[in-house]
Structure 1
């Protein structure tokens, strides 16, 4: 038994955390390749290496996935200090390399020299599709303005299909439930953010992030664009690119009379916060959302103006109204604060009322112990506590949006 424990300990030395082992990089200059400060790591690797995100069979494992900053030409290599088979010939290591090969398209290189020669061709790289929007970001540390551009592309753009195959590999590492889309379906739209920069007097472009949108058919003659995936690469996060991208995409669809409204598929918490900010920024300029009208409550005029001018559906318009009304509420006026709290809580109480209606219908079908369990879930005291918790959570979220609107 002792021998088994010592064997287990020795074998445990060949386990690696795959989130630490995978080293990602966007390379602009040959010296970036060996510069550790340019490396970043995945948030997730469970889709490749299982829920525990562990690879077995190697000591000091490093999985290097380096991309040229613009065209995303890829270098893939794997290094390690020891392999389990060298010491234990009866134990097989995991197929670490095979898992990466499943998601990266063919055409990658395995040697630094080949990669550097691809890097030299970056000067020829140009963004795909049509330019929608240009903006600048001021970098306080460097005391300089940086230029960014957003393009809309589709699979008819020469070279875009292959570029997109390389770009989507990042989804596996930064979106928890990511999956690759069917690019042969022409109802997909692609929006890509690039940084425009100068290197040795030449204009170059670096990939910053992207969004995919699917155009659903709405009877009889409309479409409903639904945001599917959105990713700003880690090296650019926190600089406002997500808001710029979402704004540009909204503006693009707002010009089309065919578009009913814009929605999102299974939005993450971060996406909802971003959408709250962007939609509130848009709506604050609409006449129906003026301060005096906000204090009178949510109206059909608000829903109509948001839909007709900005392709925002009623549910999202209502949420924007609550954010802007909170901003318009005088917090020293007890009556205004009370009215606001009651109105938001009434909306939050909707699901509880629905549950109670369903419970009333179910009473005759439930056994006594099932009924007791449902009734206990509906306990008034519990409901009030839950409602207050939800309200405070919503209030915190809205205040963060209001702070961001003030900064913008």
Structure 2
């Protein structure tokens, strides 16, 4: 038993947390390769390494997955201080390199010298698609404003399909339930953010983040763009790029008369907060959401105006109304605070009131007997109410 426990303890030394072992980097200059301050790590690695997010068989494991900042040319290196087979016979380590290669493009560098030589071609890289929006963010460390641009790309753009294969790899590390999309489906729209920066008098571009949107058909002649994936890469998070991207996309679809509204697929809590911020910002400029209208309560006029002018549906309009009304309510004023609380209470208890109303109970009883409010129920050919 003691021998077994000793062996288990020895084998445990060869387990590595893959979220720590995987080192990601966006490389602009050759010196970035040795600069640990530019390295970041995944939030998730379970899709490749299991729910425990552990790789077995190595000490000091480091999986270097470096990308050029613009074109995302990929370098993969696997390093470790020792391997289990060096000390223990008949025990095989995990093939971590093969697991990583399952999700990265086949044409990836495994040689640092080749990767560095490709960095010299970054000056030729230009964003894909058409420019939608340009904005600036003040960088405190650099003491200057940095320019960013948002583009809408098509899969038909030369080189974009290969670029997208490299870009989507990041989804696996930062979205818990991420999956790769079918790029042959023409209903997908692609939106990208790039940073503009200078090197030796040349203008270069670095990838900041992106979003994919699927255009669902809505009978009879409308579409409903649904945000599927959205990612701002870690070096750029917390600078407001997500809000800029989402607002730019809203403004893009506003020009399409066949778009009914804009939704999201299984939104995360952080995305919902971002959407609330963008919706509230957009709705503040509408007459129906002015402070004097907000205090009068949620109205049909609000629903109509946000649907027509901002492609926001009723459910989200109600949410924005509550946010903006709270923003414009002096909660230290007991009368105003009570009025706002009652407004929220009415929305929360409304469905339960309807559920137990005499009319609802009457319909339930009547329907159980084979009747509807319009007369006896037909057994065939009756459309649902």
TM-score (norm 1): 0.86
After superposition, residues 2-401 of structure 1 pair within 5 angstroms as 2-350=2-350
**Matched residue SS, 1:25:** strand
Change (3 A) 1:350 1:169: farther
Per-residue CA deviations over 1:34-73 (Å, capped at 9, x if unaligned) read: 1111100000101110111100011110000000000000
Structure 2 residues not aligned, in runs of 5+: 366-385
Question: Which sits farther off after the overlay, 270-279 or 324-333?
Answer: 324-333
Q: Distance in 2 between matches of 1:79 and 1:141?
A: 33
**Matched residue SS, 1:337:** helix
**Matched residue SS, 2:102:** helix
Q: Distance in 1 between matches of 2:304 and 2:276?
A: 18
Task: Report how far residue 351 of structure 1 moved.
Answer: 5.9
Name 1:396's counterpart in structure 2.
none
Q: Distance in 1 between matches of 2:93 and 2:330?
A: 64
Q: Distance in 1 between matches of 2:46 and 2:341?
A: 42
**Matched residue SS, 2:190:** strand
Structure 1 residues not aligned, in runs of 5+: 365-408
Per-residue CA deviations over 1:218-249 (Å, capped at 9, x if unaligned) read: 11111000000000000000000000000000
Change (3 A) 1:7 1:163: same
Change (3 A) 1:251 1:92: same
Task: Report how far residue 140 of structure 1 moved.
Answer: 1.8
Q: Distance in 1 between matches of 2:40 and 2:236?
A: 11
Q: Distance in 1 between matches of 2:329 and 2:38?
A: 46
Task: Report how far residue 96 of structure 1 moved.
Answer: 1.0
**Matched residue SS, 1:123:** helix
Q: Distance in 2 between matches of 1:356 and 1:140?
A: 58
Size of the aligned set, in residue pairs, is 361
Change (3 A) 1:91 1:349: farther
| RMSD of equivalent CA atoms | 1.7
